[in-house]
Structure 1
Amino acid sequence: MKAKNLVSMLLAGSMILGLAACAPTTSTESSQTPAAEATSTGGTGTSSDYLVYNVGEEPKTWDPQLNTSSMGGHVILNLYDGLVRDTKDGIQMASAESYELSANAEGVEDTVYTFHLRDGLVWSDGEPVTAYDYEYAWKRACSPEMASPYAFLMTDYIKGAYDYFSGEGSADDVAVKALDDKTLQVELIQPTAYFLNLVSWFTYMPCREDMASTGEGWEKDPAKCVTNGAFTLEEYQVGSHILLKKNENYWNADNVNLAGVRILFISDATTSLQGYEAGEINVTSILPGSEIPRLLAEDPNFSSEPALGCTYLQFNMDADVVNDLNVRKALALAIDRSMITDQVLRDGAVPAAAFVAPTFKLSTGESMRPLDENGNVVEEYEIDPYSAKVEEAQEYLAAAGYPNGEGFPELNILYYDSGNNSLIVEAVQQMWQENLGIHVNLQVQEYAVFTNTINSGDWSISFTGWSADYNDPMTMLSLFTAEGLNDSRWRYKEYAGMPNDTTLNPENEAYDTAVKMAAQTSGTERDGYLKEAEDVLMENMVICPINYTTYTQVIDHSKVSGPGRTPVGQWDFQYFTMVG
C-alpha cells in the first residue's frame, strides 16, 4: 500500500480504508508522553525490555485484508505469519515448509501452487492454524462485502477471484482451496513469476473466522486479535501506542529474542527525533528533513538507502480544471524538484521525472529509468528533474485558457500531516505562485480523514506517494488499472470496488491493457509492456512525480541489534535483540 500507501520520504502508504466502528480496548495509562519504560513480560526473550519503535501516524487498521498503509503493514508483519516471507536473502518459507508448482487442468504450466504447512502450527490462543484459515482469509479479501482496497492483489491473479469480487460469482468459484488441514492449493489465471512475492504481503496473511467475523475493529481488541506471528497484541491505546508481546506459540519462537515491541504514534518528526536523542525511542524513520545532514555527518546510528517508491501529486481526473491535460502539464513542469530534494528533504532522495523508481529493474537487469553515464536520472515526459521549465509551463497554462494565471480558480492541495509533507507542499505552492501566477490553498487533514476524503472524490489535487508491496515494477503500475486502487479515479470502465466513480476516462484502457499484458508475458516482451503502460500514465500526466524515495532511519545500536528493514521497507522485528 495504499498499500502501498508513504510519508513523503518516510514511506507512509496512501490510500483508502474505513474507520473501525468498534471501540478498541485501552488502558488507563497516560498517552501524553513518548517515553517507553521497560516492560517485563516474564517471557523467554533475552531482555525484559520492549524495543521501542515510532511508526509515525497511527494506523487506521491492522486488519490484514483491509489495511493499505505502510504503518498498518509494520504492525501486521509482526503479528501474523504468511506462507512465505520477503527477506534480504529473498523469499523464504514461513508457515509453509514447502510448495509445489504445476500445470492446471488445461495443461498451462506454472499456474497451480500447492503449499504445505509446517507441523504443529498454532494460533496465539493455542488453537491449530490450518490451511482453512488461509483459504478463509484469501477469500475474505475478495469478498464484495469486505470491499478490500487491496483486493486487486488477488483478483488480478487468482482464478475466479474477480468474478466473486464483482458480484458475478461466488466464494466457491475462487480457486483457493484447503485440500486438508495442512495443504492449500491455489490456481492462477496465468503464470505469474512474482506470485510468491505477492503471497508475502500482508493481504495474504491468515486470520481466524471466529474473530474476524465479529465486526469492524476486531483487530484492535487484544481479546479478539488472535495471531500466528512472532508477537501478539497486548495493548492498544488510541492516540498513544500499541504493545506487542512475544508469542510463545509462534513456530519460530525460539529465535525471537525480544520480550515485545512498543509502537508509538508520534507523527511530528521533530518530536520523534527528540524522543530518539533522549534514549526513549530505539528505532524510527520519522525524522525532520532539516536534521538529515547533521545526522548523516554525526550519528553512526543514522542510515539512508535508495527505496522502491515515489512521492507525487495526484490529480482527480474527474474534477473540474485539473481534468484538462494542459493544466496538469503546466503544474508538473513548473516545479523545481531538485530544490525540494536538495533543500527541503536533504536525505539522498532523487528528483523524479517519472513514476517507477530507478531501483526497479527490467528483465535485463537494467534500471526501469534511462540514466546518464554517471547513473543519474534524466529528463522524461517533458519533465526536467533538476529544474522547472517555466516557459513551457506558462505556455501550457495559456493553452488551457489561463494566460499568466489569469482566471485560474483557487484549488486546494490536499495532504496529511506527517514527516516533511507540509514542507514539500509549501514549496510547490510557492513555485506555482512564482512560475505560473496562480494561488493554491493547502488543506491538511489527519491521515484517517485524508483517506476518507480521497475515497469520496471530493478533491482536485493531493500529495501522496507509494512504496513497493513487492519487488517488481508491477507493484507501482497496477495502482492505476481500472480495477486497481486508482485514487486518481482514472478508469475507462466502472469498478465494483469504487462504485461512486462513474465518470469514465477512455484513455485509461490502453494503460490497463498494457498492464494486463505485462502480467501475462515475460522477458523483454514484458519489459516493453511495462514501459508502454508507464508511457500512457505519464503522457496523460495522471500524476506529477516529485521524488524517488529513500529509506532513512535511526537504529540505536547501543540498545538494539537487528537486520534493518525488509526489501520493501517493512520492519520485521522477530530477529531484533535488545543489547543495552
Structure 2
Amino acid sequence: MFRLALPFVVLVVVVAAAVLSDRPRPRADFVFINRGDVTTLDLQRMSWQQDLRAARIIFQGLVYADIFTPDYEARPAVAERWEVSDDGLTWVFHLRADAKWSNGDVVRPSDFVFSWRRGLLPELASDYFNFFALIRGGRAFFEWRMAALEAYAARPAAERTREAAEALWEDTLRHFDETVALTASDEARTLTVVLENRCPYFLDVVAFPCLFPVYPPLVRQYERPDGETGRLIAEHGWTKPPLLVSNGPFVLTEWRFKRYMWFEQNPHYWDRASLGVRTIMSPSVDDNNAQVLAFQTGAVDYVTEVTPAYRGDMLAQKLEFYAEHADEVAALRAQGLDQFEIDRRLPNDPRAHIHVVPSFGTYFYNFNCEPTLADGRPNPFVDARVRRAFAMMIDKGSLVNDVRRLTEPVARTITPPGAIAGYELPAGLACISDYAEGSAERAALISQAKALLAEAGYPDPTRFPTVDILFNKDAGHDLVAQAVARNWQEFLGVPVVLNMREIKVFKDDLTNHNFMVSRAGWYADYGDPTTFLELNRTGDGNNDRAYSNAEYDGLLDAAAAEPDPQTRLDILTRAERIIVERDLPMVPLFHYVLLQTFDAHRVSGISPHPRNDDYIWLVDMLDDEVGSNVPRTMGAADADRDGTRRTRGDAEVEDGDDDGIGVLGVESAPGLEAMTASCGPGQLPPPIASLRVLRDPIRSLGAVHPEPAP
C-alpha cells in the first residue's frame, strides 16, 4: 500500500466531514469528486472544467459528442436531425418535439437564440465568445454593442437613466435580429445558423456547454439594463436550486457550497429510460489524500482527477498487477479492447482501480504581457526577449521525470504532437533540459538567456524585479512552481516568490491580469489546432496573458477564410510558431495525462478517449437494477448505425463520403496498458504517443438517439 501523506485517522475525519456530514439522504446511486468546487452554472459564462462537467449533467445542447467513438461523432440530442449546405455555411437543426425543460415546458428554438445572444454580449464577458463569433454577423454585433456602450458611458450623467438604458437594450435586440444570421422558427421547430466561414469543427462547438440553452423566462428575471452604464446586469440567482430550470438528463435539487451537489433524474428528460442511475452526488473534498481515501473506503465511486504526491506509487502498483496477469492482458489487448474493458475482464483487484489516460491537453505558464502590472509597476515581461529568456531556463525534463513522475511528455508546442492530421508542429524553443549538465551547449544556452535579459535592459539579473508566480493550491501546482522558481534562481539568478491562492481568487486574478507569471493549462474543446491557438487572439476571453499581435491575429483570420484544408493547417502552423518560438506569451511545459480512480467492474460510462470529457449522465452502476448494466466500450465510429444521412443541396449523401477534414481520433486509446507493454515490475511507462487522426467528413447526422466534453 502506498504511503499516505496524512495520518490515517486525520484523513478519516476529513473524509467523514466532507462526504458524510449534513447528508440529508441515503447514499446516492453514484458519487463522484469533481476536480474543484463549481464556480458558476451560467452556461454562457463558464470555462472551468468542474463547471463544464456539472453543466453536462443538468443541461443538454442540440447535439452531444459520442465519447465512445474514436472521432467523437456527433449524436442527436435536443436536435433530432440536421442538414448542412454544400458550402458548409448553413446549418438547419430540427428540434425534437419531446425535448422539455425540467418544469415541463417545451424547449424551443428561440431558447437557443436567447442563449447564444447572451454569449455575444461583451458585458457578459464569455470566455468562449469566439464560438459564438463563428455565426455570420456575430463579431459585428459584438463590436456594435461595445461601441454603443462606450457612447452611452460618454453621455452626461443626467441622460444615463434606467429608461435610457432600456431603450438602448431594445435597440440592441433589434440590431441583433438584423445583424446575426441566427433564425428560430418555434412553429417549425427549426434553428437555422449561417456561419461566417466554413467550420470543420462546428458540431464539436455546438456540443459544448456554452452553447447549451438557458431557460429564458427565468433568466430574464435576473437580467436588467443598468441606468448608469447601459450594460445588461446579469445576476446569478437563477443558477441555484430550487429556482434553477434545466433541460438535461438530471436536475440539481440541492447545492450546498463547499459541501455537496445533489442531482436527481429529470422527470421530463426525453431519453430518461436510458439513464443508468437515479441519483448523483458530488461532495466537496479539497484534500487530495482525502479524495483517494474516500474512494478506497467506498464513500465515493469516482475521482475525476487523482493528484496526491504518491500517485506514482499507485501507478507502480497497477504495473505489478499487470505483470501478474501478463498473458491475459496481452490476449485482451489483441482483441482491441479499450483499457477500461480490459480491467473489467481481469480479476477485480484494488490495485487496478487507478487509470491513466492520455490527454489532448497542455500544461503551460502564462506571462503577463501588459505594459504595467496590476499594482502600477512596469512589467518586465512585456518584452518578448525577457519571456524567451525565462522560457529557455525551465528544466522541463526534470519537471516531468522528478517532480510530476507521471510519464507526461515534455511540451515544446501548445498543440500536442500527433493530434491533428496534416498539422505540422513548429520545432519550439530550446530549453535547459535539452543539454546535459555541465555541457558546453547548456552553458551557451544560459549565456544566451542572460544576453536576452541584458538586451532588454537587465544586465544584472540579481536586480531584476522580483518574479511572482501565481498558482492555485490544488493538483500539485505548488511543486511545479517550486521547481520552476529553483530553475530561474539557479540559471538566471533572479529573485522569485511563490503566490498560492484559493481557486476562486486565482481565477479572478487571472481574469483581471493580476499576476506576473501564472500556471495554466488547457484541454482541447474540439479537434482542431484553433482550440489552442485562439487562446492568444487579441481580446479572446481566455487570453489571460493580455497578449496582442496583429500578425498573429491576421494568420488566424486567414486560416478561418481559407477553403483548402491543408493550406489552412499550414497557416495555423505559422501562427503557432510565433507563439512558441518568438513571442512566448506562454511557455508549454508538458502535455497532460489524466489519472482517475474508479472500479471498472462496478462503473460504466467513463470513456478512455484522450479528450477526457466526462458525461456523468452516461454512468451506469453495473451492480444494481437501474439501467442496462451493459458496459459502454470504445468502438469504431459507425454513422450508419443511426441510419443517418446528410444533405448537400438537393442530394443526399452517405456519411461515409470523405471531404478531407481531420477530426481528432485515437487508434485504440490504450492508456496505461499500451504504455506499459514493455515495462517490467515497478517500472514506469514511457511517454504516451497514442493519438492519431481519422479522416472524416463534416457530419450532418439525423435520426433518433438510440455521450463528450476537462
Normalised by the shorter chain, which TM-score bucket?
A: 0.7 to 0.9
Counterparts of 1:35-50 in structure 2 under 5 Å? 35=20, 49-50=28-29
Identify the residue that residue 598 of structure 2 maps to in structure 1. Answer: 555
Identify the residue that residue 332 of structure 1 maps to in structure 2. Answer: 391
Counterpart Cα distance in 2 of 1:118 and 1:53: 31
The answer to whether the 8 A contact 1:566-1:572 is kept is: no
Select 1:510's aligned residue among 547, 551, 567: 551
Change (3 A) 1:54 1:302: same
Identify the residue that residue 529 of structure 1 maps to in structure 2. Answer: 571
Change (3 A) 1:422 1:140: same
Counterpart Cα distance in 2 of 1:284 and 1:138: 32
Q: Could you tell me how far 1:37 is from its partner in structure 2?
A: 10
Counterpart Cα distance in 1 of 2:465 and 2:45: 37
The answer to whether the 8 A contact 1:99-1:116 is kept is: yes
Runs of 4+ aligned residues of structure 1 deviating over 6 Å after TM superposition are: 36-41
Counterpart Cα distance in 2 of 1:35 and 1:399: 59
Counterpart Cα distance in 2 of 1:160 and 1:361: 29
The answer to whether the 8 A contact 2:214-2:246 is kept is: yes
C-alpha offsets along residues 453-503 of structure 1, whole Å, 9 cap, x if unaligned? 222223211111111111211111111112312111112xxxxxxxxxxxx
Q: Could you tell me how far 1:117 is from its partner in structure 2?
A: 0.9
Q: TM-score, normalization: structure 2?
A: 0.69
Is the aligned partner of 1:120 residue 2:98? yes
C-alpha offsets along residues 421-471 of structure 1, whole Å, 9 cap, x if unaligned? 111111101111111111211111112112222222232111111111112
Larger-Rg structure: 2
C-alpha offsets along residues 520-539 of structure 1, whole Å, 9 cap, x if unaligned? 22321011111011011221
C-alpha offsets along residues 396-443 of structure 1, whole Å, 9 cap, x if unaligned? 233334346231111211111211111111110111111111121111
**3-state SS of the aligned residue for 1:135?**
helix
Residue type matched to 2:451 in 1? E
Select 1:312's aligned residue among 359, 364, 373: 364
Select 1:58's aligned residue among 16, 37, 40: 37
**3-state SS of the aligned residue for 1:129?**
coil
Is the aligned partner of 1:179 residue 2:216? no
Identify the residue that residue 428 of structure 2 maps to in structure 1. Answer: 380
Is the aligned partner of 1:468 residue 2:524? yes
Identify the residue that residue 231 of structure 1 maps to in structure 2. Answer: 250
Is the aligned partner of 1:85 residue 2:64? yes
Q: Which has the higher helix share?
A: 2
Identify the residue that residue 8 of structure 2 maps to in structure 1. Answer: none
Counterpart Cα distance in 1 of 2:285 and 2:420: 34
Identify the residue that residue 478 of structure 1 maps to in structure 2. Answer: 534
Change (3 A) 1:369 1:292: farther
Select 1:488's aligned residue among 523, 545, 550: 545
Change (3 A) 1:31 1:212: farther
Counterpart Cα distance in 1 of 2:620 and 2:610: 20
Q: TM-score, normalization: structure 1?
A: 0.83
Select 1:301's aligned residue among 342, 353, 367: 353
Is the aligned partner of 1:241 residue 2:282? no
Change (3 A) 1:70 1:524: same
Counterparts of 1:257-268 in structure 2 under 5 Å? 257-268=276-287
Structure 2 residue runs of 5 or longer lacking an equivalent are: 1-14, 148-171, 223-234, 318-350, 373-378, 436-441, 624-710
- Count, aligned residues: 512
Residue type matched to 2:236 in 1? G
Identify the residue that residue 208 of structure 2 maps to in structure 1. Answer: 201
Identify the residue that residue 211 of structure 1 maps to in structure 2. Answer: 218
Change (3 A) 1:279 1:206: same
Residue type matched to 2:358 in 1? P
**3-state SS of the aligned residue for 2:538?**
coil
**3-state SS of the aligned residue for 1:57?**
coil
Q: Indicate the RMSD between aligned Cα atoms, in angstroms.
A: 2.3
Is the aligned partner of 1:421 residue 2:469? no
Q: Could you tell me how far 1:279 is from its partner in structure 2?
A: 1.8
Range with bigger deviation, 91-100 or 281-290: 281-290
C-alpha offsets along residues 211-245 of structure 1, whole Å, 9 cap, x if unaligned? 22233223542122211111101110111211111
Counterpart Cα distance in 1 of 2:211 and 2:510: 25
Is the aligned partner of 1:349 residue 2:370? no
